[in-house]
Amino acid sequence: MSALPSSHTPHPSPVGTPPLAFGAAPAVNKSPYSMSSQPFLKVEGLKRQFPQPGNPDPAPVFEDVHFGIERGQFVCVLGHSGCGKTTILNILAGLDDATAGHVIMDGREVRGPSLDRGVVFQGHALMPWLSALKNVEFAVRSRHPDWKAQKVREHAVKYLELVHLGHALDKKPAELSGGMKQRVGIARAFSIEPKMLLLDEPFGALDALTRGSIQDELIGIVEATQQTVFMITHDVDEAILLADRIVLMTNGPRARIAEIVVNPLARPRVRETLHQQPAFYTLRNHLVDFLVKRSREFQPGPGWDAKNPPLVHPGQSSQPA
């Protein structure tokens, strides 16, 4: 942790007035509680400790994590390794339990895994004894146990075609490239048509070229299905390309959400021309600044409220004091 006093943050912080829910957040920020409806997904006071032998009360990986996601929103979490991004995703997925706090999705508390939340795992997590098609069919059959084989197959094929794998249905994962495997993983997660999709650094292990093409496919399939997406990444450009909101996490242990950045770039976003948009570099610099410096030195300043992490609009002229 930095010894710097909070008021001495070297970055000309464009911190906006705190409050807000994600939603149709306009430049004029409002408290989420003043809005008529609750966000689709609400995370409140999340904290996770990993008790160690001889130390039942170690420093939590993260604590006091509050945020919300609106229906149809694409949210990226950006932070360094060890800040508990994957743990947060696992808690949202129901695969891990929080030490404190809770997650509410669509008015119901998240308890254990559910078909309502599709997960794309860091490693593709395909079953190597099943072909690409059978891997997706396995998920479809879990969602629709009453469907006939033919219908299951058609549904699975449809989603594999959405990620342009119609030609590789009968290939085993071992016969697919890393990018193709991850595309099968994406098709599998989308095929159960969950209320929300969780992606855990899905492109981390891929080369830049492959990553680019799959990101484009992901944009296409998200736009087509209007999915709500929560995605973890440590790639700034990926977050800029994909996200509506970028949640910035400080370094662990005791990681927290420093701020939530609103992505001002208009959709549809095209990789080739994205960097020509005027707001691109302001946003990118803001994110990189955070990762290289502020994530480490972050101190809650006056007015910073963990329950309402500040919503930031980089590059917007009206910068509050």
Partner 1 sequence: MKSKPWLAPLLSALFFALFIAIWYVATAPASGSGTAAPAMDPEYAALMGAQAQAGGQSAMPGPGEVAAKIWEHLSDPFYDRGTNDKGLGIQIAYSIARVLGGYLLAALVAIPLGFVIGMSPLIYRALDPFIQILKPISPLAWMPLALYTIKDSGVSAIFVIFICSLWPMLVNTAFGVASVRREWLNVARTLEVSPLRKAFQVILPAAAPTILTGMRISIGIAWLVIVAAEMLVGGTGIGYFVWNEWNNLSITNIITAILLIGLVGMLLDHLLAWVARAISWRE
Q: What residues make contact with partner 1 under the rule CB under 8 A? A: 93-95, 112-115, 117-119, 121, 123, 125, 127-130, 138-139, 142-143, 172-174, 192
To partner 1, the closest distance from the beta carbon of 92 in angstroms equals 11
**Cross-sheet strand order for the sheet of 62-69:** 62-69, 41-48, 100-105, 108-109
Nearest CB to partner 1, comparing residues 115 and 292: 115
Nearest CB to partner 1, comparing residues 12 and 112: 112
To partner 1, the closest distance from the beta carbon of 125 in angstroms equals 4
To partner 1, the closest distance from the beta carbon of 79 in angstroms equals 22
Nearest CB to partner 1, comparing residues 81 and 142: 142
Helix or strand holding residue 190 (H, E): helix 178-191
- Which amino acid makes up residue 124? H
Which residues have CB under 8 Å from 156's CB, separation 6+?
A: 133, 136, 137, 139, 140, 187, 191
Q: Which two tokens stand for residue 130?
A: 């099943």
3-state secondary structure (DSSP) of residue 292: helix
Tell which residue, 305, 299, 277, has the closest CA to residue 16: 305
Helices and strands, counts by H and E, the chain: 9, 11
Nearest CB to partner 1, comparing residues 125 and 274: 125
Task: State the virtual CA torsion across 40, 46, 50, 55 in degrees, nearest 10.
Answer: -170
To partner 1, the closest distance from the beta carbon of 121 in angstroms equals 6
Nearest CB to partner 1, comparing residues 6 and 142: 142
To partner 1, the closest distance from the beta carbon of 115 in angstroms equals 5
**For residue 206, how many C-alpha atoms fall within 13 Å in the half-sphere facing its CB?**
24
- CA dist 187 and 133 (Å) reads 10
Nearest CB to partner 1, comparing residues 173 and 314: 173
| CB 259 within 8 Å of CB 287 | no
| CB 105 within 8 Å of CB 41 | yes
Nearest CB to partner 1, comparing residues 2 and 142: 142
To partner 1, the closest distance from the beta carbon of 177 in angstroms equals 13
To partner 1, the closest distance from the beta carbon of 144 in angstroms equals 11
